[in-house]
Structure 1
Amino acid sequence: MENEKPERARSLKSLELTQELLSKLKDTARSASRSSYSPYSNFKVGAAVLTSKGKIYSGCNIENASYGLTNCAERTAIFKAVSEGESDILAVVVYTPTENLSFPCGACRQVLNEFGPDCLVVSIGNGEREEIKYARELLPDSFGPKDLGK
């Protein structure tokens, strides 16, 4: 899946993740990183999520002197979507300002499991490389709504 570049990269339920839409998500994630509040790590992360209604929500990491209260870019974007009534996440793009690719942390993976267990997760950095995985690949044998009888 690395560097996959067909016109229709993936089918997402009723939406097609075209290269045009994927480019828009990438641009949104990069742009969101510029709003990052990261005075402690100076690691500006941006994310963009695509919902089943075709809407895109952005998020950045927001650090806090009490490190445990820091919020990641992915969760910021997902929480924005959910707070606007959009709880079906189809794709998330994560941008980190490095050549190396980074995927969501454990907490973000758990939140993705709640709102987009079958969503695509696209990791991009400063280079041309990208990597695409399904959220379920990032958190195998996860705990979720099914475990609570939902």
Structure 2
Amino acid sequence: LLPGDSNHTVAAASMDTAGRIYAGVNVFHFTGGPCAELVVLGQAAAAGPLVTMVAVGDRGRGVIAPCGRCRQVLLDQHPDCLVIVPGDGEPDLVPVRKLLPHAYNSPEAAPERVVRFNPRYYDAVLDGSKTATTRFDDPCAVGPAWLLFEFDEGYKRLRGVIESVESKRLDQLTDEDAEQEGGMVAADLQNGLRGHYPAIQPESPVDFVRFRVEQTSTWT
């Protein structure tokens, strides 16, 4: 609970890939005290990548969107974080990159990355029968990454490495691509993507991402 004074008016909380929660409040000061989201980042400094963030205001304001500075810091340090923001009625869950279009990308940031998967793919990723994923408007980067699966019981995660990211049109996906996705043919892969992404079109650019698993699973 906030103490009810003008120095602490916003609280924030975030979750990491292990399902641990970090919370903090803002510290107002005329010299420029930190926002609640930045306090949370400090609390979670040793946690690895954060996957969700939310802030709420005092006096019944409810969920509030992060300021511009917090958006930039989150994008630099936790680019795969989803942020809860006010919506039309209910709050919305939005990728942080959507909150800061045409953002500056800090070359020194070197953040840990997260790639989310539907939990039904966990066994196939673990046994190596699924070594690729196709993404629409969901960028990945070559290098180490947490492969994250959200089950009802909690997160399950694998350490992995993104080996390559190839951009192509939806209608250019091949049977070879689909086989790496998990034993499909191109038509099945394209139809599955159309079902998952209603806005996707045959000419839409998608990223075909190849990866490998580096570590066995961990329940958290």
Q: TM-score range by the shorter chain?
A: 0.5 to 0.7
Which structure has the larger Rg over C-alpha atoms? Answer: 2
TM-score (norm 1): 0.60
1:136 to 89, 93, 97: 97
List gaps (5 residues or longer) in structure 2.
111-220
What is the match of residue 61 of structure 1?
26
> Identity of counterpart residues, as a percentage?
29
**Residue pair 2:27, 2:36 contacting (<8 A) in 1 also:** yes
Contact in 2 for aligned 1:92/1:121 (Cα 8 Å):
yes
In 1, Cα distance between equivalents of 2:109 and 2:77: 16
The answer to whether residue 50 in structure 2 is matched with residue 123 in structure 1 is: no
Q: Provide the rounded CA distance (Å) in 2 between the counterparts of 1:36 and 1:75.
A: 20
Asked if 1:104 is matched to 2:66, the reply is: yes
Pick the aligned partner of 2:38 from 67, 70, 75: 75
Please provide the CA RMSD for this pair.
2.7
Query: Quick check: which one's strand share is greater?
Result: 2
Question: Do residues 38 (structure 1) and 1 (structure 2) align?
Answer: no
Alpha-carbon contact 1:36-1:60 (below 8 Å) kept = no
Q: For 1:108 and 1:79, locate their aligned partners in 2 and report how far apart those are by CA, in whole Å.
A: 13
Q: CA deviation at 1:57?
A: 0.5
Cα pair distance change 1:134/1:37, threshold 3 Å: farther
Structure ranking higher on relative contact order (CA contacts 8 Å, 6+ apart): 1
Q: Structure 1 residue 71: deviation in Å? A: 0.8
| Aligned-partner residue type, residue 94 of structure 2 | K
Mapped to 2, the partners of 1:149 and 1:55 lie a distance apart of: 23
CA–CA distance in structure 2, aligned partners of residues 96 and 58 of structure 1: 14
Q: For this pair of structures, how many residues does the alignment match?
A: 108
Q: In 1, distance between residues paired with 2:32 and 2:93?
A: 28
Deviations 1:125-150 (A, max 9, x none): xxx732221101111222234x4595
Q: Which residue among 24, 49, 69 is the counterpart of 1:88? A: 49
Secondary structure (helix, strand or coil) at the match of 1:121 reads: strand
SS of the equivalent of 1:104 reads coil
